[in-house]
Amino acid sequence: MASRLLKIAAVYMLIGVTMGFAMGVTHHFEFAPVHAHLNLLGWASLGLAGCIYHIYPEAAKTKLAQLHFWLHNIGLPVFMAGLFAQFCDVPAAEPFVRIGAGMTYAGIVWFVVNLLRHRMDQSRTATRLVSEPVRSASEFAARRAGTGPGP
């Protein structure tokens, strides 16, 4: 789950940066809200979710994580296509904005619920992983499993 989210986030970063570059070169900034949403909901939010699911792999294995993944990744493209069309004065775009935004929002809500419901006592493991230098891969694996020396 973590690596899939990070890969998708990287694609959104590329799309967002390309769009920003194109707007800057052409001096047409009417699509800035689409650009901002792609970068924040695509690149930043999905990238952070991927990092969080990497740190807390048990949270990534839940049905809530699956709900988050699919709602966010189906809703966001629908939302962005609708928003883009809306800025092109396509009246029929409004339902796509509403449905896509609603799906994306629901995905984010399930992500938050998942994190709040999931036991985050692994934070001690995360702290142990970054607080002292690791001398070998086996030491890293032992620390991650909670069996190795920690701070």
pTM: 0.73
Q: What CA–CA distance (Å, rounded) separates 62 from 83? A: 31
Q: What CA–CA distance (Å, rounded) separates 100 from 106? A: 10
Per-residue model confidence (pLDDT) at position 125: 52
Angle at 130 between CA 43 and CA 138, to 5 degrees: 110
Is the per-residue pLDDT at 123 higher than 70? no
Secondary structure letter of residue 74 according to DSSP: H
Assign residue 132 a region (left: φ > 0; alpha: ψ between -120 and 50; beta: otherwise).
Answer: beta
Q: What CA–CA distance (Å, rounded) separates 32 from 35? A: 5
* Residue range 25-39, pLDDT digits in tens: 999 898 899 999 999
Q: Is the distance from CB of 96 to CB of 79 less than 8 angstroms?
A: yes
Q: Which helix (H) or strand (E) segment is 96 a member of?
A: helix 94-117
Give residue 138's pLDDT band: very low, low, confident or very high (50, 70, 90): confident
For residues 81-89, average pLDDT: 93
* Residue range 42-56, pLDDT digits in tens: 999 999 999 989 988
Q: Is the distance from CB of 116 to CB of 85 less than 8 angstroms?
A: no
Per-residue model confidence (pLDDT) at position 16: 93
